[in-house]
Amino acid sequence: AQSVSQHNHHVILSEAASLELGCNYSYGGTVNLFWYVQYPGQHLQLLLKYFSGDPLVKGIKGFEAEFIKSKFSFNLRKPSVQWSDTAEYFCAVNAGRDDKIIFGKGTRLHILP
């Protein structure tokens, strides 16, 4: 069965620091990959997605993620975080032609002003 692992459960950074959140999945075939963000008290919103083509995907608010097939990874990055990036971030994978998307357990990001 497919699964998603997010290695960092809680990350604390200062403003302007660089960010990288890890995400690994377990599935050997074709995958669709997503990063969602949940700001405090809000619902999940899509940050970016990868389906095919360029493995470096750019999303909203300056976020990007790189799909490395050989490592089964889809890490999220941002060169310089802002206080407003404080949120919980979820990696998700849709494998093959499954009807479901599997979410990771989330990484809670706290940015110090």
Partner 1 sequence: NAGVTQTPKFRVLKTGQSMTLLCAQDMNHEYMYWYRQDPGMGLRLIHYSVGEGTTAKGEVPDGYNVSRLKKQNFLLGLESAAPSQTSVYFCASSYLGYSNQPQHFGDGTRLSIL
Q: What is the DSSP string of 18-45?
A: -EEE--EEE-SS-EEEEEEEE-TTS-EE
Among 28, 31, 3, residue whose Cα is nearest residue 96: 31
What residue type is 3 in one-letter code? S
51 near partner 1 (CB under 8 A): yes
Using the contact rule CB under 8 A, the part of the chain among 21-29, 36-44, 60-68, 72-80 near partner 1 is 36-44
Q: Is 34 in the site for partner 1 (CB under 8 A)?
A: yes
19, 24, 65, 104: which one binds partner 1 (CB under 8 A): 104
**Site residues (vs partner 1, CB under 8 A):** 6, 9, 32, 34, 42-46, 49, 51, 90, 94, 96-106
